[in-house]
Chains A and B, each alone.
Chain A
Amino acid sequence: MIEIQNLSKRYGDLIAVDDLSLHVEAGELLVLLGGSGSGKTTTLKMVNRLIEPTAGRVMIDGQDVGGIAPYELRRGIGYVFQRVGLFPHMTVGENIAISLTLLGWPPPRIRDRVAELLELVELSPGVSADRRPSDLSGGQQQRVGVARGLAAAPHVMLLDEPFGALDPLTRDRLQQSFLRIRKQLELTAIFVTHDMAEALLVGDRIGIMRDGKLIQIGTPRDLLRSPADDYVRQLIETPMRQAQVVDALLEDTSS
């Protein structure tokens, strides 16, 4: 369980995150949604201390993350981000196993775990662990990125627009894979996106951020039924309206 309490981040006069509090239940996936500059990524990065907060604190399973050495904290948290960041001088297998290597797992155990993960992210049998990341397509690379985040069986996952740079078809396939995996592993996760359709698809609850503040948090149904303001209403109505347009088109052509 993740508990964020009165978290703030200031850069000089600029307030990136403003007194934000929320919690994520064990096994729950919370989506943070907002435009660029809304503070969603900054909030995410303060959870694994890639960014240090100006004020407030983050607790994971009742423990203040500020009291854990950053590198130890991060080894227990899966992290996947849009720019993937696979190490080009390592093989696919070495990339997936990096946190296991850092944790000092013996090589045979690492090999087994890598095979298991390649299967989990649906790369096996097509992609061998000996390949270089540069040999893979963008979608395959991000599957490796997800596998790397999952390697040490973390109880918390942080995902920063993980599928944002992929083409729509690839994105759809990865979203489906991800949904299956998170159900299978019962992940506790925070998922950052600016895409409402994706948020509705993957999130148990959605937190909407604007100018560093959390404006509303709730299930998709809550947001649809009682949006807190016009901004939230617009955000949530956009995918609906698009779906209606598509439906209408389909009816036209079928009649």
Chain B
Amino acid sequence: MIEQLELLPGYLTAHLQLTLFALLIGTLVSVPAGVLITRHRWLEQPVLGVASVIQTIPSLALLALMVPALAALGFRSIGFFPAFIGLVLYSVLPILRNTVAGLNGVDEALVEAARGVGMTPGQRLRRVELPLAMPVILAGIRTSTVWTVGVATLSTPVGAPSLGNYIFSGLQTRNLVAVLVGCIAAAALALVLDGLVWALGAAVLRRRQGWTRAVLATIALLYLFTGATLVAELRTSNTDQVVVGAKTFTEQYILSEIMSAHIGTVTGAPTRILSSLGSTVAFDALRADEIDVYVDYSGTVWATLMQRHTTATNRAEVLAGVRKFLHDEHGIELVGSLGFENAYALAMPRAQAKALGVTRISDLTAPAATLTIGGDYEFFGRPEWKAIESAYQLQFDEQRMMDSSLMYQAAGSGQVDVISAFSTDGRISAYDLLVLDDELGAIPPYDAIILAGPRLVRERPDVIAALRQLTGTIDADHMRQMNRAVDQDGAGVTSVAEQFLREIRD
């Protein structure tokens, strides 16, 4: 608990940076846009239509889409900016719609009176229409505030730390305390910010000048504080800090801690961990030098990036192909293999496998029609699944997508029959699952490999040398044991990493 709360100031500040500035820009865009729409009627349908379409894009996808979009435009595509721009887009609709509704709702008699007493169109807007529409516009800003605080927790996978880090890593490592801290903090923040906007509206409406000033001062202070921290961070992010990336599962958290601590001890370089990155986000970030190093798996690069579908390939051949591809196509160096494989594997409860007489994937071909298979979000869309399906002629009764952290439990409790397990996951033994033999070699090998980005390769040979020392230091049993320590025994990621480094140095 204390360990989690120590992370709170950092995550909360990062969350505030995202939401406060997204709301500010969202308001500065939406209110004038709303005014423009009400002056030029023909704009109303197209503009509101576009804003509504943006709103219907699932928020996680909207934020993730910003990464390739920004990269295509040549901007920094990982971290604050994609999340920020996604949030701005998301904040627009409620404010825009309420601005239009508020202005349209102004009594026509008052508009005529405003014209009749000799107001210019600008004076009419400032003195009559906007003040009268203000309660409705503020209601829109409040809706937007609550949404934005919530959606900002989804900034984590695009590399922007937020309160979502608690939730993403907590769900993966089965740390419910972390998940709860993240949820409660986000909810409290939403309530506080919503309350501030409410207080501002109430004060202005009742013409309490002292009250209005106090609320405005509070809001201004919040902006000053978060603005200052944001500027400070954006300035320091260009220094010689080594950024270590991690995808969204336990093994990745542990490995990133190991690499970060090892680099720090050996080279003295300052390091920073950017965790819970989406799978393709991590690779794109490395290519663009937004992160410097992370661990990926040879089979993932082979199947997903190189689009190879050949079966029965051996480990050395895949590694060599991947090394050449990354170097030639992306200027990324494959520093070395850690010594274990974390492969996709089909697994099922041992008792059920025994009852059905299943030990190999080919044994599933016949009974598949009565079985349910569960997979993580990526699995059924990945080329490996297509390869397995066609190699073994599998036709399952039902496919269910679920979070990878829940898959093992689902299999253990019989809610699904077969899952797409990760071979190093500690929960395979914890739930007494049997990994089925892939005798046709449909699934490529998945050596865990350290990948270093172009900048690091060019500028920091000392860091590359330090990372190379980790080659071959972790075998599959060891990795499984560390994963299990975090997932099942509740050990902290940092302490597991530290213990590992102590062991290899002795």
- Which residues of the partner chain A approach B119 to less than 8 Å between Cβ atoms? 71, 98, 102
Choice from A71, A84, A85, A86 contacting B120 with Cβ under 8 Å: A71
B96-135 residues with Cβ-Cβ distance < 8 A to A are 107, 109-110, 112-120, 123, 127-128, 131-132
- Which residues of the partner chain A approach B109 to less than 8 Å between Cβ atoms? 81, 83-85
**Chain B interface main SS type:** helix
A74 and B117 contact, CB distance less than 8 A? yes
Among residues of A, the one whose C-beta sits closest to the C-beta of B205 is A89
In the complex with contacts A89-B132, A102-B123, A75-B118 CB distance below 8 A: yes
Number of residues of chain A lying within 8 A (CB) of chain B = 22
B118 and A85 contact, CB distance less than 8 A? no
In the complex with contacts A83-B109, A88-B132, A89-B132, A71-B118 CB distance below 8 A: yes
- Which residues of the partner chain B approach A8 to less than 8 Å between Cβ atoms? none
Complex Cα gap A84–B112 (Å): 10
B117 and A79 contact, CB distance less than 8 A? yes
Among residues of B, the one whose C-beta sits closest to the C-beta of A75 is B118
A99 and B113 contact, CB distance less than 8 A? no
The number of chain B residues touching the other chain, given as a range, is 10 to 19
B198 → chain A closest CB, angstroms: 18
B117 and A89 contact, CB distance less than 8 A? no
B128-160 residues with Cβ-Cβ distance < 8 A to A are 128, 131-132
A85 → chain B closest CB, angstroms: 3
B132 and A83 contact, CB distance less than 8 A? no
B113 and A87 contact, CB distance less than 8 A? yes
A79 and B116 contact, CB distance less than 8 A? yes
Complex Cα gap A75–B114 (Å): 11
A183 → chain B closest CB, angstroms: 24
Supply 20 A–B pairs (Cβ within 8 Å), ascending by A: A48-B116, A50-B115, A70-B115, A71-B118, A72-B118, A74-B115, A76-B118, A81-B113, A81-B116, A83-B109, A83-B112, A84-B113, A85-B107, A85-B109, A85-B110, A85-B114, A87-B110, A87-B113, A89-B131, A102-B117
10 closest residue pairs by CB, A with B:
A85-B113, A75-B118, A79-B116, A83-B109, A74-B118, A85-B109, A71-B120, A71-B118, A99-B117, A89-B131
Residues of A within 8 A of B (CB): 48, 50, 70-76, 79, 81, 83-89, 98-99, 102, 148
If A50-B112, A70-B115, A87-B114 are given as contacts, then 9 extra A-B residue pairs at C-beta distance below 8 Å, sorted by A number, are A85-B109, A85-B112, A85-B114, A85-B116, A87-B127, A98-B119, A99-B117, A102-B118, A148-B117
